[in-house]
Amino acid sequence: MSLWLLYLLLSKATMTGFSGLGSLPSIREDFVERHHVLTDYQLNAAVAAGRTGPGPLGLYVVCVGYTVAGTPGALIGFLAMITPTMLVIPVLRFFLRTAEHPALRGSIRGLLLAAAGLLISASLPLGRSSLTSALPVAVAGVSFCILALTKVETVWVVAGAAVLGLGAGMAGFK
């Protein structure tokens, strides 16, 4: 895959995603389904690597670029990640003047719902490739419940899941 095509695809994904993982459906479609330069496992690893460190939620785009094309790909991923930010400043000035218009508010709500649906549709295949036995399913379910129903910080849930997974792996559970 050429670096130019890599930039275009990652830029398309970051410009159409409305949150950190909002670009995931587009990235999965382009890199796993259409161009076959990543597997679901590699995409899972890139997302995990990008989400474990501090920084923006969309940082996994840099990891995707690195997985596809090494260090030049990581640089392309970084450029694609910051492109929307550099373009949003003039656009934001315009929208702040018209933000109270009912049609614009309705459009934004519709776009957010569409983004949520796309995120769910991309998460299902990734979940299928990660949740391969009862233990990962249980850890994912308990983690979701803790995050959804309590005020426990995400870092503690991730740390607890990691300790549980390492302990289970060392004990021979899969």
Q: What pLDDT, in 10s, does the model give residues 121-135?
A: 878 887 777 788 888
Residue 44, φ and ψ in degrees, nearest 5: -60, -45
Q: What pLDDT, in 10s, does the model give residues 29-75?
A: 999 999 999 999 999 888 888 888 777 777 888 999 999 999 999 99
Q: Are 23 and 13 in contact (CB under 8 A)?
A: yes
**DSSP designation for 83:** H
Q: What pLDDT, in 10s, does the model give residues 67-115?
A: 999 999 999 999 998 888 788 778 777 777 776 777 777 887 888 888 8
| Amino acid 74: pLDDT | 95
Structure tokens at 21: 């993982």
| Amino acid 4: pLDDT | 96
| Amino acid 114: pLDDT | 86
Mean pLDDT of 135-141: 87
| Amino acid 56: pLDDT | 73
pTM greater than the 0.75 cutoff? no
- For residue 95, give every residue at least 6 positions away whose Cβ sits within 8 Å of its Cβ, in sequence order, or none: 104
Q: Comparing C-alpha atoms, which of 67, 66, 79 is closest to residue 11?
A: 79
CB neighbour class for 27 (10 Å; exposed up to 12, middle 13-18, buried from 19): buried
Query: Is the pLDDT reported for residue 17 higher than 80?
Result: no
CA distance 73 to 30: 15
Residue 118, φ and ψ in degrees, nearest 5: -65, -40
Query: Is the pLDDT reported for residue 18 higher than 70?
Result: no
Q: Are 61 and 77 in contact (CB under 8 A)?
A: yes
| Amino acid 8: pLDDT | 94
